[in-house]
Amino acid sequence: MSTLAYTVSDSTTMLRRNLRRLQRYPSLTLLLIGMPIVFLLLFVYVFGGQLSHGLDTAYAAGHTGRAGYLNYVTPGILLMTVAAAVQGTAIVVAMDMTGGIIDRFRTMAIARSAVLTGHVLASLIQTLLSIGIVLGVAVALGFRPQAGVLDWLAAVGLLTLFAFALIWLATALGLAAKSVETASNTPMFLAFLPFLGSGFVLLASMPTGLRQFAHYQPFTPTTETLRGLLTGTPIGANAVVAIAWSVAIALGSYLWARHLYTHRRAA
Amino acid sequence: MTDTHQPAVVVTGVRKSFGETVVLDCVDLTVTEGTIFALLGPNGAGKTTMVRILSTLIPADSGNAQVAGHDVVGDPDGVRASIGVTGQFSAVDELLTGKENLQLMADLNHLGRAAGRARVDDLLARFDLVDAAARPVSTYSGGMRRRLDLAMTLIGSPRVIFLDEPTTGLDPRSRRQMWDGIRNLAASGVTILLTTQYLDEADELADRIAVLDHGRIVAEGTPDELKRRVPGGHVRLQLADPPTLRAAAALFDGATPDEERLVLRVPGNGDVASLRHLLEQLDDARIAVEDLSISRPDLDDVFFAVTGPPTLEKEAA
């Protein structure tokens, strides 16, 4: 077999291993999916009635009240799902790095990249499944996307790209963590970022400083693009900015993760 | 490469420091193919560091190391393809079953479907893990975990195996089982370098032993050669009080009194003639002995002879 064939075969083996681990440890995935679902319920049923008053119907896909707010908040909740799911990535990567098994992999003649590739691909599958479940819950609550086939494809593409970027970031954070506990905490700020963006309220309602931060952080253009694709709100330049953010985060995190993997001894 | 006298591991002048601490200080080692070589030393002697360097996990600061003919720095993948490593901490996937762990190793060794499956079943049987094969490793006992760990190391049929403290923390029965496994491996022609802090383990298993202390090899040879370095054994006399101890000590050349325990160690191999002579001398001097025992030389004596007594004077200096 050629080097490339070995790389593909080893990465597939690692992917299978990680998917099997996720299967054996379902409580982790359920816990991670639980968070965005709880926030969805909380924001739609507790705050939704109130929050919908400040909402232009253009942002609520033509609906008013609670139903309108559900349409507004779902894209932000989906991105929060991504941010929550990648906490699992950091945890499983740190579990590997702090256990003895990483030394076994390092002393075997396997493709160097296979260990990380296996983690990233397994997390990507886990994250997309999580998004599917949360989206299902939103639809069950009454979320009615008005997207055509191309919009759906673009939305899935955007979510995949964004998930890919955050997964590499979480992988790097997992590699950098000295313990599994640290690894489960460091990516938590990601799940908080949708609040400091256009995920839950219009930017216009925020005080100046916060609004500026919200305007320039990656979740906002990504939320706006996703919302535009699913519910038909204007996208404008947000799509380009969102893609640029994801590519930059993915590339930077990949290089960081690769450096950490090569240079850090197992704890 | 099939020449049995070809060294499987050659280490020359390897040094390694972590910060200010010198862990390995110019270590030379040669391990003949098909033999068991024990690196014996107390905690912190540098044993694990040596294994990590040889298994390409960390680079040495200077010096050369070759494993199965491949340089650890110049051709790490060549080394990795020839070795198996079982570390101090079990390198198993807790969430997978024993069989899945082995299957993972078979896949990573590119054994192919049928050959991999056959190898997995063979190793499960050899390491007495058939009944536990379908259970997650998190339910395994310490001994089972070690056996699985070793089985995983063997999947790729490595020619050189590094075992870092393979029996530390195991109960006596598991320890025996592990020893049998290691001996069987060596009988199949594999070269084994093991580290241990147990003298009996090195004595039991190794063809050659190197004693590592503070990062230096302080003695090397076969177990018998090392034992011969300590001339004879000693007779241990238990005495009643310090004056008696001192009086007895004055009778024998080279006797070492232990004031605290009131014990006198008299060099001698403990045969009947020398023992009778010793007792006559004690009788003549009217010295009563509370208790007497004979110690033949073992690796403990060798160890203390070459590393110095197990006291703190070195650290204090």
pLDDT-derived band at A205 (thresholds 50, 70, 90) equals: confident
Of A73-82, B195-204, B214-223, which has the strongest mean pLDDT?
A73-82
- CB < 8 Å from A in window 129-148 of B: 136
Mean pLDDT, chain B, as a whole number?
A: 87
- Looking at residue B315, its pLDDT comes to 40
Q: What mean pLDDT comes out for the span B139-157?
A: 91
pLDDT-derived band at A37 (thresholds 50, 70, 90) equals: very high
Chain A residues whose CB is inside 8 A of the B96 CB are 17, 20-21, 24
- Looking at residue A48, its pLDDT comes to 86
More confident residue, B214 or B306: B214
| Complete domains list, chain B, with CATH | 7-228 (3.40.50.300), 234-296 (3.30.70)
Chain B residues whose CB is inside 8 A of the A101 CB are 91-93
- A109 closest CB neighbour out of B77, B95, B152: B77
CA distance B306 to chain A (A): 33
pLDDT over threshold 60, residue A221: yes
What is the SS3 string spanning chain A? Answer: CCHHHHHHHHHHHHHHHHHHHHHHCHHHHHHHHHHHHHHHHHHHHHHHHHHHHHCCHHHHCCCCHHHHHHHHHHHHHHHHHHHHHHHHHHHHHHHHHHCCHHHHHHCCCCCCCHHHHHHHHHHHHHHHHHHHHHHHHHHHHCCCCCCCHHHHHHHHHHHHHHHHHHHHHHHHHHHHCCCHHHHHHCCHHHHHCCCCCCCCCCHHHCCHHHHHHHHHCCHHHHHHHHHHHHHCCCCCCHHHHHHHHHHHHHHHHHHHHHHHHHHCCCC
- CB < 8 Å from B in window 25-54 of A: 25
Q: What mean pLDDT comes out for the span A165-183?
A: 94
CA distance B101 to chain A (A): 9
More confident residue, B122 or B227: B122
Of A173-177, B41-45, B200-204, which has the strongest mean pLDDT?
A173-177
Angle, to 10 degrees, between the axis of helix A149-176 and the axis of helix A238-263?
30
B-interface mutation test, from A8, A19, A104, most B Cβ less than 10 A away: A104
Percent of chain B whose predicted confidence (pLDDT) is above 70? 91
Chain A residues whose CB is inside 8 A of the B56 CB are 106-107
B-interface mutation test, from A4, A29, A108, A115, most B Cβ less than 10 A away: A108
- Looking at residue B298, its pLDDT comes to 67
Q: What mean pLDDT comes out for the span B80-108?
A: 92
pLDDT-derived band at B314 (thresholds 50, 70, 90) equals: very low
- Looking at residue B88, its pLDDT comes to 78
pTM: 0.82
For B268-295, write each residue's pLDDT tens digit. 767 788 888 888 989 998 888 889 888 7
Q: How many CB pairs under 8 A join A and B?
A: 62
Please tell me if residue A263 touches chain B, with a CB cutoff of 8 Å: no
Please judge whether A103 and B109 are an interchain contact, meaning their C-beta atoms are less than 8 angstroms apart. Answer: no
Q: What mean pLDDT comes out for the span B221-233?
A: 77
pLDDT-derived band at B312 (thresholds 50, 70, 90) equals: very low
